[in-house]
Structure 1
Amino acid sequence: MRAFILDNPEIIVEALEILAEREARAETQARLAAYPELFADAARLGEGDVAAPRRIVEFFDYKCVPCKTIHPALVEFVAAHPEVRLEMRQLPILTPGSERAARFALASREIYGDETYRAVHDRLWDVRGPLNTAGFQRIAGTLDLDFAKIAPVMESEAVTSRITYNRDVAIALGVLGTPAFVTPDSVVFGSTDIEALSEVWLSR
């Protein structure tokens, strides 16, 4: 064995790489163990069959250009892999407007339900300017929603706790930016390389 290793020292490097990958995966799994509901919560917003057996959680921000850039490729990926559900979660970290928009979307869901949440999300996703009250009022008007009912719920405990929970998970997993993609044994953030991401997701 010693002679073989001396003749093929590259296997040591390969073994160390495999060990490091296993240790990183085990560490990720240990951190995620504190948040078992992350992959078990009822579907709220995302792409793919809500009953799909494999779930990828994406943390996004409405001001995140890379999030919007990669989204069409994610839709295609999910369409090509019906066993996968992409669940999108609010992680407003880029600007104060990001949090206001997240609160508006989540408050809309609290009052009107998931279908309206998706409609509000789609319009916020397309906003290129500031994310402010005037804009939210316009979106509410186009969807025939009562912004006067939505506004107080934006500061409710239910909305605040959801945003806080998402931030807590992100901090625990070492997420430093969006988009961030989390599976039961992997965490990747800041990447828009769908081929590289697909390789990670489908290798498990």
Structure 2
Amino acid sequence: MTLPLSDSALIGTCLAASALGLIVLTSGGGGAAPEPESAAQTETALPLGATPAAPDAVDPEFGEQVRAYLLQNPEVIFEAVAEFERRNAQAQGDMDGALIEANAEALFNDPMSWVGGNPEGDVTLVEFLDYKCGFCKRALPEVDALLEQDDNIRVIVKELPILGAESELASRFAISVLDLAGPEAYESVHVELMGYEGSITPDYLEDVADSLDLELEEIVAHMDSDTVSDVIEGNRALAQRLQISGTPTFVMGDQMIRGFVPTDAMLEAAAIARQ
């Protein structure tokens, strides 16, 4: 069975193949280029009056130097991969920072998003999540641990239902609860939905509402309101502008963290955001 290559390994393999091709080419092992069958064929492939360009000559001495160096130092190929990844990460980080700055108001000051942690915290963590996302569920205890270790972080949750009808149903329920019953009720619903592994159905949501003494009929009637729809569509539009394609995605300071990360990585991101 052939195992899939990681991005780094794939790039390294491509570079290695290119290096080997260069070795063959510069050492004369590639063979001569085929001659055209006739002068007429060459002439008809060129504009009228044009003359064929002479092929670039390869210095055999330089080729031998390249070949010898790569054979003696094959690790430079992977050093090049590491440098490529560093530059790529830097470019991605710069782009993320610009996107965050351009969308800061919608990210950090949206009145329709739930705010937790320390509302007066000096660093804000924004999480885009889906209630059917397994990695979002894994992230909940990591975020809780973050807040236990750093009590100066403000948390904002943005529902981004991208995994189907159950995701949308759960998001609409949670947003409706926030709008009608307030942030404490929302937090209880949020924790319940994130910890639930079964199918999200109207009957399940009815049980949730009953267990939390919520007004089910009012909440259900509000789920299809323009207010709730506007929140979801606004979050989707914001995610598109930020080039977010999956959940969870975290924004902290000018950093965008795509995918699940443990508490230690969040603490590190918070430290960078404070610099």
2:269 to 181, 196, 200: 200
Partner of 2:135: 66
Tell me the CA shift for residue 104 of structure 1: 0.6
The one-letter amino acid of 2:100's match is: L
* Cα deviation digits, residues 65-116 of structure 1 (max 9, x gap): 1112122122112221222222222111112101101101111122111121
Name the CA distance, whole Å, in 1 between partners of 2:263 and 2:182: 31
Partner of 1:30: 98
* Cα deviation digits, residues 154-173 of structure 1 (max 9, x gap): 01111111111111122222
1:157 to 222, 226, 235: 226
- Which structure 1 residue ranges, 4+ long, deviate > 4 Å from structure 2? 12-22
The one-letter amino acid of 1:52's match is: G
Name the CA distance, whole Å, in 2 between partners of 1:165 and 1:194: 28
Matched, 1:178 2:247: yes
Name the CA distance, whole Å, in 2 between partners of 1:96 and 1:79: 34
- Residues 107, 20 of structure 1: alpha-carbon distance in 2 compared, 3 angstrom cutoff: same
Alpha-carbon contact 1:63-1:94 (below 8 Å) kept:
yes
> Normalization by structure 2: what TM-score?
0.63
Name the CA distance, whole Å, in 2 between partners of 1:203 and 1:188: 13
The one-letter amino acid of 1:134's match is: D
The one-letter amino acid of 1:106's match is: I
Partner of 1:4: none
The one-letter amino acid of 1:62's match is: Y
Alpha-carbon contact 2:116-2:155 (below 8 Å) kept:
yes
Partner of 1:108: 177
Matched, 1:133 2:202: yes
- Residues 46, 133 of structure 1: alpha-carbon distance in 2 compared, 3 angstrom cutoff: same
Alpha-carbon contact 2:130-2:248 (below 8 Å) kept:
yes
Count of aligned pairs: 195
Partner of 1:5: none
Tell me the CA shift for residue 15 of structure 1: 8.3
Decide which structure has the larger Cα Rg and report it: 2
Matched, 1:76 2:154: no
Partner of 2:188: 119
Tell me the CA shift for residue 46 of structure 1: 5.4
Percent of aligned pairs with the same amino acid:
30
- Residues 100, 29 of structure 1: alpha-carbon distance in 2 compared, 3 angstrom cutoff: same
Name the CA distance, whole Å, in 1 between partners of 2:83 and 2:213: 60
Matched, 1:188 2:257: yes
Alpha-carbon contact 2:117-2:155 (below 8 Å) kept:
yes
> Normalization by structure 1: what TM-score?
0.82
- Residues 44, 174 of structure 1: alpha-carbon distance in 2 compared, 3 angstrom cutoff: closer
- Residues 198, 189 of structure 1: alpha-carbon distance in 2 compared, 3 angstrom cutoff: same
Q: Which moved more, 1:13-22 or 1:184-193?
A: 13-22
Q: CA RMSD in A?
A: 2.6
- Structure 2 gaps, min length 5: 1-75
Name the CA distance, whole Å, in 2 between partners of 1:144 and 1:124: 16
Tell me the CA shift for residue 181 of structure 1: 0.5
